[in-house]
Chains A and B, each alone.
Chain A
Amino acid sequence: MVDFFGETLFAYAVVPLAKIIVAIAVVLGIIAYTTFAERKILGFLQVRTGPNRVGPWGLFQPIADVAKLLGKEDVIPNRAVTWAYVLAPCLVVGPALIILSVIPFGPPSGEGPVSSWFITDVNVGLLLVVAIASIGVYGLLLGGWASNNKFSMLGGLRSAAQMISYEVPQGFSLVVPLLMAGTLSLVGIVEAQLAQGRWFIFGFFPFGLLAFFIYFVAGVAESNRNPFDLPEAESELVAGFHTEYSGMRFALFFLGEYANMIVISAVAVTMFLGGWLRPFPNVEWLSFLDLAFLPAGLAGLLWFLVKLLAFLFVYIWFRGTFPRYRFDQLMDLGWKWLIPTALLSVAATGLWKILI
């Protein structure tokens, strides 16, 4: 009580706030440059150059895009349901950014919240992630419904059906590493991977791997990316749920999509790929990968970022390669293949855990 305005305030208000601001700023920066990287990588895959006019190699293109979108007129259709129309983009971006609060970007170094490389460590972190991630669908649904446009509504309906069915296998596949770690805390899960000496993707072979693939497929579907980009399928539904959106509201949807990609990748990295751990954390002769010469925890942060960016690259690679699923085929894949397989791996992992 004595030092309430001293160290406590510093540790529990100032530092977290600063961390939140830094995390959001960094993630927004990553989002901006993910769009840039997407265009460049797609350009490379498709024998063209991508953006190259604004700044050297087009590096300032995202900034120009944001400036353009901010300057656009913000149109609200005449017969749209205004409150829902305005709320929808926020519902897409908000949850994605909230989830960042529990993602451990780097190891906890030292005691207390001050010096650790994450905003907070909630003991039900994973539950929080799953719960908040499922709010995002309301944004798409509301946006599609409130626009008062038939194509938007079809897009909203598609996204609702899609996200609800893909949340189930995604949740189940997260249970597998959960069983392996025995804790819901995301930091605890990474530490369990360190203690067991392997990333959970390699745990209980092949069920860790299986769960990882299920999670990733479901994650791609959750974030509405190719080949599951049905809600905004350009050639079918014009632009799906965001047909009527313009200016910054459209940009928020766009932002939300990329933020979701990052969040899903970050959760995958944490749960399956050892979070901030180096590859093969139990192999002694690979210990140079710990990059011990860097300040405490920075190496962990770097490893996390490397894995995250690899994920984002795969996302973009998908977009360059795959055609789009049809709506009913997508549901087929989810309900007939992913959910049974996920259930199987959960059951097998549980059994294994009991027997061994």
Chain B
Amino acid sequence: MVEVDSRDLSSDTLFGVEEMEINFGPQHPATHGVLRLKLKVDGERIVDCYPVIGYLHRGTEKLFELHPFFQNVPHTDRLDYVAAATNNLAYVGAVEKLLGLVVPPRASYIRTILCELQRISSHLLWLATHAIDIGAMTPFFYTFREREIVLDLFEEYCGARLTLNCMRPGGQPVDLPVGWVERCSEFIESFPEKIDDYEGLLTENRIWKKRTVGNGILTPELALEYGVTGPMLRGSGIQLDIRKAMPYEMYDQVDFDVPVFYNCDTYDRYLVRMEEMRQSVRIVRQCLEKLPEGPIMGKRPRVLKAPKEGDVYHAVEAPKGEIGFYIVGNGTPNPHRCRVRPPSFYNIQVLPEMVVGGLIADLIAVIGTTDIVLGEVDR
């Protein structure tokens, strides 16, 4: 073994290279929310990246223990606050599994519709911020125009636009308002054209492709090691979607495809999400057609009490990946322990692997493509 002076290894130029440390965030326009990255850069090239999280920690998991099962639904709204419906569903699904509640089919269809609308609105927000991070300003306003319609539909259904609180263990709190189905299908019919508009601005845009193709490579092995889920995983060529793998609610009753792309880069993750929006449209359309009449709340005891022994894990496919709730009961109306498995928490951990060696501009694109929401990273 030849001893090498460590300085010789780094100084491959005439003058020594000094790396600069940059604090990227938590108040930076591109680190959505309060993500902070400690970066070590050599010029513009990233040598090291270390995500610092916890600025939005609210002790949500502890809060779950302090409230009865049915009062915990609003806490889930605030995890991934741009996709409240899927959080609600993951939680109430876990409680229903634990307590053995049966959901009537109409409620189940409503849930499926809400979750897919939520997926559309979440992906629209992702597209808006991703595009504006890469410098394309206009898609932001186009997507927000459509997102507004989705939020209006939510507001009409449950009174809230973001923190929906729209599901209860055992069923749905309210039925669909009069005319909601028509307005929803009106949106669903017009929406695919709008997706074409966004794609017209971006998909074949040379600059967009230059910025995203080959950027932020996430190999399938790496993705599996880090527990990455959702569109990130499907952009890396692994077809895993909980809606197909472990169907919940009405996903086994409807016909849809799970888009998979194999190039593992930012562009393919973009394509995955664009295609997912089209598939969501398909799902909502079928659900609206099949929507049965009937009760919206199943039979359930007046006080929801967990069995003395027993724990349960229930996961659903959120817009960002697998969100799961692990709940332990202890015979009281409160959960003994509730652990959340948020997709963003796992997706953000792979960030350093994707950005080291790239430029700062690449980092921005990768942050956009991971589609993290700090609310569920920090909980």
Contact = CB atoms under 8 A, between A and B. Distances in A.
B11 interface: no
A47 interface: yes
Nearest to A42: B137
A118 to B, nearest CB: 36
Given A227-B135, A236-B364, 15 more contacts: A45-B138, A46-B137, A46-B138, A157-B43, A226-B137, A235-B29, A236-B360, A237-B360, A321-B201, A322-B205, A323-B136, A323-B205, A323-B207, A325-B210, A327-B44
Contacts of B43: 157
B190 to A, nearest CB: 15
Interface string B338-379: 000000000000000000000111101000000000000000
A237 B22 CA distance: 11
B135 A324 contact: yes
Contacts of A111: none
A226 to B, nearest CB: 7
A186 interface: no
Interface string A234-271: 11111000000000000000000000000000000000
Contacts of B29: 234-235, 238
Contacts of B207: 227, 322-325
B201 A326 contact: no
A236 B205 contact: no
Contacts of A324: 134-136, 207, 211, 361
A109 B141 CA distance: 49
Given A226-B135, A323-B136, A233 B361 contact: yes
B30 interface: yes
Contacts of A236: 30, 360-361, 364
A-B pairs with lowest CB-CB distance, top 10: A324-B135, A46-B141, A323-B136, A235-B30, A323-B135, A235-B133, A326-B361, A323-B134, A323-B207, A323-B208
Contact of A154 (B131, B133, B360): B360
A236 B145 CA distance: 25
A323 B360 contact: no
Contacts of B208: 323
Contacts of A47: 141-142, 145
B308 interface: no
Contact of B22 (A151, A226, A319, A326): A151
Interface string B1-35: 00000000000000000001010000011100000
25 contacts: A46-B138, A48-B141, A154-B360, A158-B44, A226-B135, A227-B135, A235-B29, A235-B30, A235-B132, A235-B364, A236-B30, A236-B361, A236-B364, A238-B29, A321-B136, A322-B136, A322-B207, A323-B136, A323-B211, A325-B135, A325-B210, A325-B211, A326-B210, A326-B211, A327-B359
Interface of B: 20, 22, 28-30, 43-44, 131-138, 140-142, 145, 201-202, 205, 207-208, 210-211, 359-362, 364
B306 to A, nearest CB: 46
Contacts of B359: 326-328
Contacts of B202: 323
A230 B207 CA distance: 13
B12 to A, nearest CB: 19
A45 B20 CA distance: 40
A230 to B, nearest CB: 8
Nearest to A332: B210
B204 to A, nearest CB: 12
Contacts of A151: 22
A235, A319, A327, A329 interface centre (most CB from chain B within 10 Å)? A235
A320 interface: yes
Nearest to B30: A235
A321 B136 CA distance: 7
Given A47-B145, A325-B210, A326-B211, A233 B135 contact: yes
B136 A238 contact: no
A229 interface: yes
A226 B142 CA distance: 19
Contacts of A353: none
Contacts of A326: 210-211, 359, 361-362
A329 B137 CA distance: 20
Contacts of A321: 136, 138, 201
A72 interface: no
